[in-house]
């Protein structure tokens, strides 16, 4: 079973801090994604990556950046945390389309509070 691990379940950070959210998957998936989840807004795509060192903006990239130095690890970076970035952050991965599945596997999420 694919395992997607997010390093922190809960984080509390101060406004202006640089914040790193880490995600690791153990199934050699090419594609990785970062979403934020807010009540009434569903899951919104922040950034995704389809290969090492490759990244693409999603629907709401402002205030975020990402890093993918190794295939198994995809990091989300808040350059200067703000209170409106308080949210649940979900990482997901999926294999390159092999025709067999397009299915995502999600991590457990990191609930970030910026004070």
Partner 1 sequence: GENVEQHPSTLSVQEGDSAVIKCTYSDSASNYFPWYKQELGKRPQLIIDIRSNVGEKKDQRIAVTLNKTAKHFSLHITETQPEDSAVYFCAVTHPGAGSYQLTFGKGTKLSVIP
Question: Coil, helix or strand for 84?
Answer: helix
Name the nearest CA neighbour of 66 among 57, 79, 56, 75.
75
**End-to-end Cα separation, the chain, in angstroms:** 37
Q: Residue 103 interacts with partner 1 (CB under 8 A)?
A: yes
CB of 16 to partner 1, least distance (A): 29
Q: Residue 102 interacts with partner 1 (CB under 8 A)?
A: yes
CB of 83 to partner 1, least distance (A): 22
- Separation between Cα atoms, residue 104 and residue 95, nearest integer Å: 8
Answer whether 72's CB lies under 8 Å from 89's CB. Answer: no
| Residues in 53-92 that interact with partner 1 by CB under 8 A | 56, 58-59, 90
Residues that bind partner 1 (CB under 8 A): 30-31, 33, 35, 40-45, 48-50, 56, 58-59, 90, 94, 97, 102-104, 106-109
């Amino acid at each position: 079973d694919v395992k997607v691990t997010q390093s922190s379940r809960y984080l509390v950070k101060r406004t202006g801090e640089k914040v790193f959210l880490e995600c690791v998957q153990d199934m050699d998936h090419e594609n990785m994604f970062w979403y934020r989840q807010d009540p009434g807004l569903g899951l919104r795509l922040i950034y995704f990556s389809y290969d090492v060192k490759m990244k693409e903006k999603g629907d709401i990239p402002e205030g975020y950046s990402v890093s993918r130095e190794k295939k198994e690890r995809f990091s989300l970076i808040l350059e200067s945390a703000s209170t409106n970035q308080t949210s649940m952050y979900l990482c997901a991965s999926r294999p390159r389309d092999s025709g067999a599945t397009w299915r995502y596997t999600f991590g457990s999420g990191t609930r970030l509070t910026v004070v």
